[in-house]
Amino acid sequence: MLITSGILGLPSWQDFQPFLVTGLSLGGVYALSGVGMVVLYRATGVLNLAFGAVGAMGALIAWSLINHSGWNEWLAYAVCVLFGGVLTLVYGMVFGPALAKRDPLVKATATLGLTLILLGVMDLLWTSSGGASRSITLPTDNNTFMVSGIQVELTNVIAIALGLVIAVATSAFLRYTKLGTAMRAMANDREITATLGVPVRRVEAAAWFGCGLLSGIAGVLLADLVALDATTLTFLVISSLAATLIAQLRSISITFVAALVVGTVDALITPINSITNYRDLTPFVLAAAALLVLNRKRVISISREGI
Instruction: Name every residue whose Cβ is closer than 8 Å to that of residue 93 and which is 6 or more positions away in sequence.
Output: 201, 205, 208
Nearer residue to other proteins within complex by CB, 174 or 245: 245
Least separation in angstroms between residue 262's CB and other proteins is 11
Judge whether 18 and 149 are in contact, CB under 8 Å.
yes
Nearer residue to other proteins within complex by CB, 168 or 203: 203
Least separation in angstroms between residue 55's CB and other proteins is 13
Nearer residue to other proteins within complex by CB, 115 or 170: 115
Q: Is 136 left (phi over 0), alpha (psi -120 to 50) or beta?
A: beta
CA distance 207 to 92: 9
Nearer residue to other proteins within complex by CB, 102 or 175: 102
Helix (H, G, I), strand (E, B) or coil at 135: coil
Which residues inside 241-260 make contact with other proteins, applying CB under 8 A? 241-242, 245, 248-250
Which residues inside 6-25 make contact with other proteins, applying CB under 8 A? 11, 15, 18-19, 22-23, 25
| Among the residue ranges 63-71, 80-88, 148-156, 171-179, the one whose residues contact other proteins (CB under 8 A) | 148-156
Task: Count the site residues for other proteins by CB under 8 A.
Answer: 76
Which residues inside 41-100 make contact with other proteins, applying CB under 8 A? 45, 47, 49
Least separation in angstroms between residue 45's CB and other proteins is 3
Single out the residue of 73, 78, 86, 104 in contact with other proteins (rule: CB under 8 A): 104
CA distance 219 to 223: 6
Segment holding 147, helix H or strand E:
strand 144-147
Q: Chain centroid to CA 158: how far?
A: 15
Nearer residue to other proteins within complex by CB, 10 or 288: 288
Q: Tell me, what amino acid is at 58?
A: G
CA distance 86 to 162: 21
Quickly count: other Cβ atoms within 10 Å of residue 198's Cβ. Answer: 19
Which residues inside 153-212 make contact with other proteins, applying CB under 8 A? 153, 187-191
